[in-house]
Amino acid sequence: MDSFVHEQSIVRKIWGQSDTVLLVFAGASAEFALNKAVDWLYFTGRLPSDPLGRLFSTVVYAQKIVFAEKDAALAAIDRISAIHRGVEQQRNDRIPDEAYLDVLFMLIDYSIRSFELLQRKLTTEEKGEVFDVFNRVGARMGLKGLPANYEEWEKMRAEYLRENLVTSDFSLDLYRQYQRHLGAFRYQLLLQAQVLLVPKRVRQLLLLPSFPFLWPAVQLYKALRLLRMDGWLKNSLVPASYRTQVGRLDVS
């Protein structure tokens, strides 16, 4: 059977490693808080009550699609669409296409940024592969206004960062929930990871620290990674309740 993402794709390499996926999670957790449609995420109550679980489920779903056979991946995308339609019916309103596009754009951007932070610069062709995979997800969801190629996506991404992000009471509350669920030490690590990952516009709106104190630790982690001694460190940085789930993110 055909795969949704071919086996040699850089996208599988990016999304087959738990540390890279966790960085995608870290970046997305910042931008989620600034999305103008974040009130939709608060509507069901799941996000404020379990922000880590809600965001984690998003990246896990994305990973499943990346490694699924084509038919299974399309079925998973259809389930996502059906879940969102159910929320829309409950609220008697429609989630704006911009909110879906924001999430897709985040997955593209932070996939690239996370891999490059931990491993190497991607080629233009590889970045195009990342774009193509998540753009096909958007097309299956029936989203309007999708970019035609990676170059057009770069322009739209810059525009979305300027126009679609805002600091709100939801933003402040969500960060309070991050701190409550992570604890003081892991919360500071999250902020530092975000400093290294997120675009300048996101850093400014969230008033994130300007200096990446975590940078030397990232270099140490990369060395431990080469020696296959990174597992203990990764486990110590993840809340105990999520360690099993994080371990499953490593795909052979």
pLDDT digit string (tens) for 72-88? 999 999 998 898 888 78
Place of tokens 């960085």: 23
**Which bin fits 120, alpha (ψ -120 to 50), beta or left (φ > 0)?**
beta
Tokens of 182: 């992570």
Query: What's the pTM?
Result: 0.88
First to last CA, the chain: 19
pLDDT of residue 60: 81
Minimum mean pLDDT range among 6-20, 47-61, 105-119, 200-214: 47-61
pLDDT of residue 94: 81
Between 216 and 177, name the one with better pLDDT: 177
pLDDT band at 16 (very low <50, low <70, confident <90, very high): very high
Q: What is the mean pLDDT of the chain?
A: 86
pLDDT band at 235 (very low <50, low <70, confident <90, very high): low
Segments making up each domain of the chain, as ranges: 10-247
For residue 62, pLDDT beyond 90: no
Do residues 164 and 35 make contact, with C-beta atoms less than 8 angstroms apart? yes
For residue 42, pLDDT beyond 90: no
| One-character DSSP codes across 183-200 | -HHHHHHHHHHHHHHS-H
pLDDT of residue 38: 73
Tokens of 237: 């940085």
Report residue 147: phi and psi, to 5°. -70, 155
